[in-house]
Amino acid sequence: MINSKLPSIWYGGDYNPDQWPEQIWQEDMRLFKEAGINVVTLPVFSWAKLQPSEDVYSLEWLDKLLDLIADNGIYACLATSTAAQPAWMSRQYEDMLPVDVDGRKRTHGSRTNFCPNSKSYRRLSRQLARKLAERYKEHPALLIWHINNEYGTHCYCGNCAAAFRVWLQGKYGTIKQLNAEWNMSFWGHTVYEWEEVVPPSNLNGDNRNFQPMALDYKRFMSDSILACYQGEYDELKAITPGIPITTNIWGLFNGLDLKKWGDAMDVVSWDSYPQMNEPMGNVAMRHDNMRGLKDGKPFMLMEQTPSQQNWQPYNSLKRPGVMRLWSYQAVAHGADTVMFFQLRRSFGACEKYHGAVIEHVGHENTRVFRECAQLGRELGALGDRLLDSVIDADVALLFDIDTWNAVEMTSGPSVDLNYLEQAQQYYKAFYDYKVPVDVISPLSDFSKYRIVIAPVLYMLKPGVAERIEAFVKNGGTFVTTFFSGIVNENDIVTLGGYPGKLRELLGVWVEEIDSLTPDMRNSVEIGDGFGHVRGSYECGLLCDLIHLEGAQALGAYGSDFYAGMPALTVNRYGEGEAYYVATAPEQRLLNDLIRTLCEKRDIKAPFSAAEGVELAQRSKDGAIYHFVLNHNGFKAEVELGEDVYLDLLANEIVTSTVELEPYGVMILQKQRK
């Protein structure tokens, strides 16, 4: 349990009472209780109010608030408020404001607008965290610490440059080693003194010209920001060792090395803001990625909107039922909390059109409030039965931030190659087949899975190829694609033929990589057919021209000068099989392939359900909780077979064919016959 003080699914969210007169606070309490809210996140952006000047802290208003919420039986996700420093601080400490990649020194304002290597920022943020911990360590409302908010601003200032050189010395030891690892003889960039290392920036042309350096700078920035987090973490832990600590991640974001961040948190939390028309598989994948950051442990849904955003181009309302549906989707993928931004809609500045549990009208007679209150009652009734339950997946998708960054920064072979999109397409194939997937780092242990899939495994970090080989040798099914095994962790090509260290395992040699313009198409022709993979499929983007070195061709290109060359292969290796998809085919091929491989490995969905109905499971103490989520705006069926289930939400017994309401949800538990 994240904190046994509150043994149910935490329900609540960001609350900014310091933007409101005190008379409103009492009314807020009434409404929160009415909505079943049991946790409020505060104060997220109140540093200026908490510390009006360097020597003066003003915490009395927060004392009052915390007492008020505790008196009302509500807990605090207590934020350290360090995401937006006060104006006096930016003014007094010249090193605090960051410099962006174009070399512009920022002015005061906005948020996460600080240099992570600013000594004054580090000192003052730690100091505030300590003050809050000392003051509230015994407070009955204190449930969890929430450090900062959506960290992620990278800085290119002189202090950061100096700290980068120190970081590099720690990593490479000697300047000679650095020159070698970064291949600095390219364009005559050899350096002789550490001081000659100039961080990548658009001031020196294009910050992506030297990918080894640019990648290291990103890693260094992630570490620098993590050091800010860690500074606050250490202060809080020293004073309140029993209280869990988190910081809310901005979803699938490549500005931080999220795996490292997962390790540094007691519980992972994140903010989920899908577009209304976004494929639901993408959202499911983001949840799975968050769960993967802490090896499958439950995470917190820290923020979602009850109704609409303000910052997307078109901020559609969540249709009736959709907020509830998406909340359960998060829980289905491992969230033990359902929390919102924001509880009361602010009335000035850029978030005044962002949805909230309490709208501008100020009372509870709104559609959104009613839906929130209904969900609050349901979550309350579920009690603690789902907490700490886990997801048992037989499939792992390897996803890596460094690979994402490297693919994004690399010049060629195609501007249209998007690492995240490729991963999403393979994820979708499993999502459509309705089986769970763990999204994990290639550095995590994947030996327990039956299928491991690594779309565009462009970068092979030390040890990964060897572990994939061992996995396949022991009977695993491995799938990878074009543009894999090409470079090492510094984006330096592994010589001797692509896909480098995966060549023997896959039994293929990639001689050339063709890049297709958006209007160009080729096809993958499946000769004799392979399970559900048969006939002709379109492909595009990149086409590897490969030679078989032990692998068997399952399909070949249909046109161009490489017509007839293999486009889909399998290599038997030890007890297992390694598949290579040499191009980017239409989704249909991926779905047919994944279905075939799952059937081969005896992986199947528990029920058969209509298109658009998502299935997910969590289990605990021998009980399996089946989530059935209808993402359609119309009724849809699920076929449960002969077993008898209890729907925990409706408290009804169901069996055989069940019809779900539009956006309807069931959580089913099998009953003894």
Residue 459's binding partner among Zn ion, ligand GLA, none (Cβ under 5 to 8 angstroms by kind) is: none
- Candidate segments 112-120, 183-191, 578-586, 655-663, binder of Zn ion by CB under 5 A: 112-120
CB atoms within 10 A of CB 90: 20
- Which one of Zn ion, ligand GLA, none is in contact with 543 (Cβ closer than 5 to 8 A by kind)? none
Residue 155 touching Zn ion (CB under 5 A): yes
Residue 331 partner contact from Zn ion, ligand GLA, none using kind-dependent CB cut-offs of 5 to 8 Å: none
Chain centroid offset of residue 518 CA: 29
Binding-site partner at residue 150 among ligand GLA, Zn ion, none, CB < 5 to 8 Å by type: ligand GLA
Report whether 582 contacts 553 (CB < 8 A): no
Q: What angle do CA 564, 569, 574 make, to 5 degrees?
A: 150
Sole binder of Zn ion in the list 6, 143, 157, 597 (CB under 5 A): 157
Long-range contacts of 566-571 (CB under 8 A, 24+ apart): 566/508, 567/524, 567/525, 567/539, 567/543, 568/524, 568/526, 568/530, 568/533, 568/593, 569/506, 569/507, 569/508, 571/505, 571/506, 571/507, 571/508
Give the nearer residue to ligand GLA in terms of CB position, either 3 or 309: 309
Q: Which residues contact residue 515 at a Cβ distance below 8 angstroms, ignoring those fewer than 6 apart?
A: 412, 413, 414, 541, 542
Which of ligand GLA, Zn ion, none does residue 157 bind to, with CB < 5 to 8 Å depending on kind? Zn ion
**How far apart are CB 244 and ligand GLA at their closest, in Å?**
19
The residues of the shown chain that bind ligand GLA, judged by CB under 6 A, are 149-150, 271, 273, 303, 309, 341, 351, 354
Of the ranges 155-163, 455-463, 491-499, 575-583, which one interacts with Zn ion (CB under 5 A)?
155-163
Q: Is 115 in the site for Zn ion (CB under 5 A)?
A: yes
Q: In the bound complex, what is the minimum distance in angstroms from residue 315's beta carbon to ligand GLA?
A: 10
Minimal distance, residue 150 CB to Zn ion, in Å: 18
Say which entry of Zn ion, ligand GLA, none residue 400 contacts (CB below 5 to 8 A, set by partner kind). Answer: none
Which of residues 110 and 204 has its CB atom nearest to ligand GLA in the complex? 110
CA–CA gap between residue 157 and residue 100 (Å, rounded): 8
Q: Residue 577 carries which side chain, given as an amino acid letter?
A: E
Q: Least distance to ligand GLA from the beta carbon of 19, Å?
A: 12
Name the minimum Å distance from CB 47 to ligand GLA: 14
Give the residue among 143, 515, 201 at the shortest CA–CA distance from 339: 143
Is residue 610 within 8 Å of 662, Cβ to Cβ?
no
Which one, of 582, 454, 453, 570, lies nearest residue 511 by Cα? 582
3-state secondary structure 476-496: CEEEEECCCCCECCCCCECCC
Helices (H), 254-321: 258-264, 280-292
**Dihedrals phi, psi of 338, to nearest 5 degrees:** -130, 105
Q: Which is nearer to Zn ion, 8 or 148 (CB)?
A: 148
Q: Which does 271 bind (CB under 5 to 8 A by kind): Zn ion, ligand GLA, none?
A: ligand GLA
Least spacing, CB of residue 124 vs ligand GLA, in Å = 21
Contact 335, 287 (CB under 8 A): yes
Cα-atom radius of gyration of the chain, to the nearest Å? 26
Q: Which does 309 bind (CB under 5 to 8 A by kind): Zn ion, ligand GLA, none?
A: ligand GLA
Set 150, 181, 359, 577: catalytic member: 150
36 sits in which H/E element: none
- Bridge partners (DSSP) of residue 619 are 390, 624
- Phi, psi angles (nearest 5°) of residue 488: -90, -170
- The minimum distance between CB 341 and ligand GLA, in angstroms, equals 4
| Smallest separation, CB 273 to ligand GLA (Å) | 5
Residue 149 contact partner, candidates ligand GLA, Zn ion, none, CB within 5 to 8 A by sort of partner: ligand GLA
Quickly count: other Cβ atoms within 10 Å of residue 5's Cβ: 14
Determine the Cα–Cα distance for residues 314 and 303; give it in Å rounded to an integer: 19
The percent of the chain in helix, strand and coil, each rounded to the nearest 5, is 30, 25, 45
Is residue 445 within 8 A of residue 263, CB to CB? The reply is no
By beta-carbon proximity to ligand GLA, the closer residue of 39 and 584 is 39
Catalytic residue among 232, 303, 371, 489: 303
| Complex with ligand GLA: residue 179 or 315, whichever CB lies closer | 315
Shorter beta-carbon distance to ligand GLA: residue 248 or 389: 248
Element spanning 668, H or E:
strand 665-670
For Zn ion, which stretch binds (CB under 5 A), given 157-165, 261-269, 318-326, 505-513?
157-165
Residue nearest to ligand GLA (CB): 271
- Given ligand GLA, Zn ion, none, residue 155, with its beta carbon under 5 to 8 Å by kind, binds Zn ion
**Does position 44 bind Zn ion by CB under 5 A?**
no
150 is catalytic: yes
Token look-up 């933007």 returns 19
Give the x-and-dash track for 159-188 against Zn ion (CB under 5 A).
xx----------------------------
- Nearer to Zn ion among residue 114 and residue 573 (C-beta): 114
351 vs 416 by CB, closer to ligand GLA: 351
Minimum separation from the CB atom of position 301 to ligand GLA (A)? 11
293 scored as a contact of Zn ion (CB under 5 A): no
Alpha helices in 410-548 (DSSP H): 419-433, 464-473, 503-506
Q: Is 66 or 115 the residue whose CB approaches Zn ion more closely? A: 115
Rounded-to-integer distance, Cα 584 and Cα 424, Å: 12
**Residue ranges in 442-583 assigned as alpha helix (H):** 464-473, 503-506
CB 222, CB 365: distance < 8 Å: no
Binding track, positions 417-456, relative to Zn ion; x by CB under 5 A:
----------------------------------------
Q: Give the length of the chain.
A: 673
Q: Is 94 part of the annotated catalytic residue set?
A: no
Residue 250 beta carbon to ligand GLA: minimum distance, rounded to whole angstroms: 7
CB 225 within 8 A of CB 114: no
Tell me whether residue 157 or residue 409 sits nearer to Zn ion (CB atom).
157
Q: Which is nearer to ligand GLA, 256 or 581 (CB)?
A: 256
Dihedral (C-alpha) 651, 630, 604, 482: value to the nearest 10 degrees? -150
Work out how close the CB of 303 gets to ligand GLA at its nearest, in angstroms, rounded to a whole number: 5
Q: Select the binding partner of residue 385 from Zn ion, ligand GLA, none (C-beta < 5 to 8 A, by kind).
A: none
Name which of 613, 581, 255, 599 is nearest 426 in CA terms: 581
CB of 283 to ligand GLA, least distance (A): 15
Site residues for Zn ion per CB under 5 A: 115, 117, 155, 157, 159-160
State the catalytic residues. Answer: 150, 303
